[in-house]
Chain A
Amino acid sequence: MNGFEVDGVAIAVFCALFLLVTVLGFVAARWKRGDLDLIDEWGLGGRRFGTVITWFLLGGDLFTAYTFIAVPALVWGVGSGGFFALPYTILVFPLVFLVMPRLWSVASKHGYVTASDYVKGRYGSRGLASAVTFTGLLATMPYIALQLVGIQVVLGGLGIEGEWPLIIAFAILAAYTYTSGLRAPAMIALVKDTLIYATVVVAIIYIPSKVGGWDNIFSSAAQELPQRDEPGALVPGNPDAHVAYATLALGSAMALFLYPHALTAVLSSRSQDVVRRNMSLLPAWTFLLGLMALLGYMAIAAGVNVTEPNNAVPALFVDMFPSWFLGVAFAAIAIGALVPAAVMSIAAANLFTRNVWEEFVRKDISDREESQVAKIVSLLVKVGALAFVIFLPTQFAIDLQLLGGVWMLQTLPAVMIALYTRWFHHRGLLAGWLVGMVSGTWIAASQDFAPVWEIPVLGVTGYTALVALAVNLVVAAVITVLLGGRGRAARRDETRPEEYDELVETREPAPTVGAGVT
Chain B
Amino acid sequence: MTASETTLHAPRRHPGLIRRLWDRWPVKVTLIVVCVLWLIPTVGLLISSFRTTALIQSEGWWTFFTKPLDTAQWTVSHYTTVLGQRNFGNAFLNSLAVAIPSTVIPITVASFAAYAFSWMNFKGRYILFVTVVGLLVVPLQMALIPLLRLYTSGEFFGISTPFPHPINGTYMAVWLAHTGFGLPLAVYLLRNYIGSLPSSIIESAQIDGATHFQIFVRLIVPLSVPALASFAIFQFLWVWNDLLVALVFLGGTPQVQVITQALAELKGQYGQFEHLLPAAAFISMGLPLAVFFGLQRYFVRGLTAGAVKG
A and B associate: no
Q: Which residues of B are interface residues toward A (Cβ below 8 A)?
A: none
Q: Which residues of A are interface residues toward B (Cβ below 8 A)?
A: none
